[in-house]
Structure 1
Amino acid sequence: MTTERIEEEVEEAAFVLARHAVALTYADLPAGVAEMTSKTILDTTGVILPAATTSPEAKALADLVLDLGGKEEATLLGFGRKAPAWLAGYVNGAMANCQDFSDLHPDAAHISSPVLPAAIALAERQGDITGKDFITAVALGVDLQCRLTIAAGKPGGRMAPWHPAPLFGVFGAALACSKLLRLDENRTVDALGIAFTQAAGTHEIVFGKNSTIRGFGHAVPGEVGVRAALMAQAGISGVRRSFEGTHGLWNVYYQGDYDRDLLLGDLGIRYNVLDDGFKPWPSCAFTHVFIDMVRALRREHVFGPADVESVTVTVGDFARGQTEPLAEWRRPANPMLAKLSVPFTVATALQHGDVTIADYFDEKLTDPDVLAMADRIESRYDEQYDFVAGSGFPGGEIVIRLRDGRTLTREQPRAYGHPLVPMTWDGLIAKFKDCAGYAARPIPVEALDRAVAGFRDLESVDNVGDLFALLG
């Protein structure tokens, strides 16, 4: 059901969601949901770690928080220090997307990184959260993040100006934390209502080119989720009609235009996390199909970077904005723009055969070989690869002309890591260990192996706080 203005007699969505959250148990999760949620926990935890050394902004933020002092409740992942839980949630949330490496649902984008940092911080603070309880809480929060994003986007719809990670993430994080605190229905509604007061964020953080703050886009839910749940637990009441009130989320942000069935239908039955995807490469999803095609062509044909005469990439409307003007995108000004750049990323894949975290370090942005390769890349536009909200990330085409006269072509509808071409547990563990290698405080091999084993068998863990402490 799509509504233009929400009627007062409709039961407020916050109460429906809170009632469902309070009643849900681990045993209620449908087949596959616990395992996929465990994968998102492993993956999101891993991608937080590299920011400790690769993002100067993350280091500056961690220093600011540590300078504030306070009770040492939760780990700043990768730094080996602790801070009050909601501040740890903020820092870890800020770090979660610094590599542009977090999970990627084809219809709801980043669904775990807005939720997990808050859940981690509160679980450490509580000290008695089992793996099953943690999985259940995170599954709830991630499911709400998905439902809100998909209900707002609607298949075939236009991308809204609001950024779903911070806007909807405060609700997903607050719901997960409410579950961890075992709040009743009334207090859970309060937590959602408190989170509503800080629901904000537009896509300018993505498209603005003169700042590296894009990596911090998932920070606020990490703090707000913890704080909202703790405030509700303390008896502080929140807005009661945060979603469907006259001045609630849907009426104010979306003029009442959303799909209520996608938001509330089949609660406890339909879990969109089952369609989640994971990123094999630390760059914008719109570059991935091109990386994947380059790698495939290099496997199928014998050629090296010196053999490449010219390249043409065919892009849709969204990727076009990360390709043109070519002169600008061949020379990205900072690492965050480099991760968005189709020509720079394709050049990196052609030059090195793969794309890694280190390929976006500052010094790599002036690598003469990569830049020379980028200068050989041209682009063309084809509307069949346009982005349509609710239909997943589009494919693309590539033509590589070699100096020996060969022309190599490839077209793909999607990239490796998409749920139809999924990463395995082994692939996710390899990614996790690679990310862990960039932590500011070196993680001993034994501790890393214990952490991996714990995430792989998370439902058997007695206290997840001990697991995250291994990754300080």
Structure 2
Amino acid sequence: MPAAPEAAVLALGRFAAGLRHTPPPAAVADALLLRTVDTIAAQLHGVRGGHARLLLQLLDAPGRFPVWGTPHRRALRDAVAIDAALAHATYFEDGSRFTGGHPGSAVIPAALLLAAERGASGAQLIAAIAAGYEVFLWLGRALYPATVRRGFQSTAILAAPATAAAAAVLLDLDATQAAHAIAIACSQGAGLKEALRCVDSQPLQVGRSSEGGLLAARLAALGATGSPEILEKGFVRGFAGELEAAALDLGAGLGTHWSLDETYVKLHGGCRGNHAPVDAALALVAQHGLAPAAIAGIAVAVDSVTRAAAIEPPANAFEAQSSIGFSVAVALLHGDAAPPRFDAATLADGAVQALMRRIHVAADTTLDAGYPLTRPALVRFTLHDGRVLQQRLDFARGEPELPLDSGHVLRKYDGIAPALLGATQAAALRAQLLALPAAPAGACDALCALLASPSTDPTPSP
């Protein structure tokens, strides 16, 4: 009789614990270094957009850990929850079309803050982030897209077990303890897609989930246990369904195939589903030398999962982040859909509103066939002169198939950080981040010190 298959959480625990002694490949470490820079930029943009104010009032336990981009400090748990929420607040962090989620905001704030507490080296921090990313991405593949169709938000569900895996590395848990940490964390995170309509509260579900993963790892370090079949009989079955649970196979490839290679970096602001339509619309303009005034109507077709997440038309600047119509209109009028465009003034602009009324966004079920291997958009312009032009893109820029170079991530950081940290401090932080692989024990505490803003205003205007 063949041996029973190993419980998936044991494989994840063994993988995470192994990273304490065997670092990820150099290419993976380099990519994670840039994702750390990217996530910090996204978090600082969340502060710049005013999203810190309510969280600072709500989570006020005193401590020494910075709420990045502000002069405020909190106890570790509150700092983790706030910084993770802020990194997710403007949807400017990295993501994966195979999970529908955002590993950077889920993992990196918690890992960096815990690394500071533990006096970790740069290499230890990168190993922890590697563990968190891979657990997020492997579990996310098992859940997605079924979990979104059931109404859940991937990032909030996955942040807890992913953070637990990262924390297990920094807490020096062995394979069994790490498996228990991940198992306990599986019941510490939750989130709903409907909450995305309220961006002043929705990011907290990601922050709380990440905090829950930290608690789970610390509980496992004290000797607590989690169910060895929590993934097969609870987590995947509950969040995705029976078929997904039956097909769960997480052991093969862990540590040899790195799912990080399947993630994207964002070029535009707003939800990822907006980006391929924006790229397709800008491509048509560039190819044909068009001005927006020449366009009588625009039809945007996307897959059904993307359309279900879109808010058309948006009622406020928060909803605009999930609006394909708004994103396309802004890009055509201004030449980009950069994060600062997603504000109340731009949404109220008469030219933007007029162009939005000429944009129709619909689901095309024929585009579902390859999802999420592709996430296509078909954009059709009808011009006043009678011509009809169309452009199909299977991938937005920044996907693995159309990657952005490291310079893009650094320019993204350089465009955001100095406004909050000051030019000198932002440059010093950037230099220390890029030197992270060789940074000695205690370096992460110094990094956190540079993430604290010298400003007395935690929510400066964009």
1:124 maps onto 2:116 in alignment: yes
C-alpha displacement of 1:282: 1.3
1:219 and 2:207 correspond? yes
Contact 1:92 1:117 in 2 (8 A): yes
**Equivalences for 1:171-182 in 2 at 5 Å?**
171-182=161-172
CA shift, 1:455, in A, is: 2.6
Deviation at 1:464, TM superposition (A): 2.4
Please point out which of 312, 318, 340 is paired with 1:329. Answer: 312
Q: 1:55 touches 1:98 (CA, 8 Å); kept in 2?
A: no
Residue in 2 that maps onto 1:203:
193
What TM-score comes out, normalization by structure 2 length? Answer: 0.88
Corresponding residue number in structure 2 for 1:317: 304
Taking the aligned partners of 1:130 and 1:366, their CA distance within structure 2 comes to 48
Aligned to 2:456: none
SS at 2:416 equivalent? helix
Partner of 2:380 in structure 1? 399
The question of 1:151 aligning with 2:154 is answered no
Whole-angstrom distance in 1 between the partners of 2:229 and 2:189: 10
**Identity %, equivalent residues:** 24
How far, CA to CA, are the matches of 2:251 and 2:330 in structure 1? Answer: 43
Q: Against the structure 1 CA distance between its residues 307 and 46, is the aligned structure 2 distance closer, same or farther, given a 3 Å change threshold?
A: same
- Contact 2:85/2:105 (8 A) holds in 1: no
**Residue 469 in structure 1 maps to residue 449 in structure 2:** yes
AA partner of residue 139 (structure 2): L
Q: For 1:99, what is the secondary structure of its paired residue?
A: coil
Structure 1 letter corresponding to 2:28: V
Is 1:38 paired with 2:29?
no
CA contact (8 A) 1:77 1:471 kept: yes
Among 49, 61, 73, the alignment partner of 2:55 is 61
Distance in 1 separating the partners of 2:359 and 2:324: 9
Which one-letter code corresponds to 1:424 in the other structure?
Answer: D
Residues 242, 114 of structure 1: alpha-carbon distance in 2 compared, 3 angstrom cutoff: farther
Q: Which residue of 2 is the match for residue 249 of structure 1?
A: 235
Quick one: which of 449, 452, 459 aligns to 2:427? 449
CA contact (8 A) 1:401 1:407 kept: yes
Relative to structure 1, the CA distance from residue 17 to residue 131 in structure 2 (aligned partners, 3 Å threshold; closer, same or farther) is same
CA distance in 2 between counterparts of 1:190 and 1:200 reads 19
Aligned partners of 1:313 and 1:377 also within 8 Å: yes
Q: Which residue of 1 aligns with 2:290?
A: 303
Residue matched to 1:366:
348
CA deviation map 1:84-140 (0-9, x unaligned): 1111000011112111111122212322221112112211222x2111111111101
- Equivalent residue for 1:4? none
The Cα of 1:169 is off from its aligned counterpart by 1.6
Provide the C-alpha distance between the structure 1 equivalents of 2:31 and 2:445, rounded to a whole number of angstroms: 20
Q: Equivalents in 1 of 2:3, 2:81: separation in Å?
A: 35
Whole-Å Cα distance in 2 between the matches of residues 45 and 21 of structure 1?
A: 23
Structure 2 residue 119 is the aligned partner of structure 1 residue 136: no
Is contact 1:153–1:160 with CA below 8 Å preserved after alignment? Answer: no
Pairs within 5 Å for 1:250-269: 250-253=236-239, 254-255=241-242, 257-258=244-245, 262-269=249-256
RMSD, aligned α-carbons = 2.8
1:91 aligns with 2:73: no
* Paired residues, number: 447
Distance 2:27 2:291 in 1: 42
The separation in 2 between residues aligned to 1:388 and 1:157, in whole angstroms, is 18
CA deviation after TM superposition for structure 1 residue 288, in Å? 0.5
Secondary structure of 1:318's counterpart equals helix
What's the offset of the Cα at 1:8? Answer: 12
Q: Which amino acid aligns with 2:235?
A: L
The answer as to 2:412 corresponding to 1:425 is no
Aligned partners of 2:232, 2:384: CA distance in 1, in Å?
64
Per the alignment, do residues 33 and 400 of structure 1 end up closer, same or farther by CA in structure 2, a change over 3 Å counting? Answer: same
Q: CA deviation at 1:322?
A: 5.6
**Using the alignment, how far apart are the partners of 2:80 and 2:353 within structure 1?**
38
2:292–2:332 contact (8 Å) kept in structure 1? yes
Residue identity matched to 1:271: W
How many Å separate the matches in 2 of 1:413 and 1:423? Answer: 16
Whether the 8 Å CA contact 1:118–1:173 is kept in 2: the answer is yes
Structure 1 contact 14–192 (Cα < 8 Å) conserved:
yes
Question: How far apart in 1 are the matches of 2:348 and 2:41?
Answer: 28
CA distance in 2, matches of 1:435, 1:218: 22
In structure 2, the partner of 1:338 is 320
1:409 to 380, 383, 390: 390
Tell me the CA shift for residue 144 of structure 1: 0.4
Q: Which amino acid aligns with 2:18?
A: A
Output the CA distance in 2 between the equivalents of 1:445 and 1:172: 33
Question: Are the counterparts in 1 of residues 23 and 127 from structure 2 also a CA contact under 8 Å?
Answer: no
The residue type paired with residue 444 of structure 2 is V
Code of the aligned partner of 1:232: A
Give the drift of 1:404: 5.5
Q: Is the 8 A contact 1:50 1:437 kept in 2?
A: no
Describe the superposition over 1:119-176 as per-residue Cα deviations: whole angstroms up to 9, x where unpaired. Answer: 12211222x211111111110111001111112338x998454322122221110110
2:108 matched to 1:108?
no
- Name structure 2 gaps, 5 residues minimum: 453-462
Asked if structure 2 preserves the Cα contact closer than 8 Å seen for 1:121 and 1:226, the reply is no
Question: C-alpha separation between the residues in 2 aligned to 1:423 and 1:335?
Answer: 27
Q: Which amino acid aligns with 2:373?
A: S
| Aligned AA (1:41) | T
Select between 312-321 and 379-388 the one with higher mean Cα deviation.
379-388
Q: Mind listing any 5+ residue stretches in structure 1 that lack a counterpart?
A: 1-6
Aligned to 1:77: 68
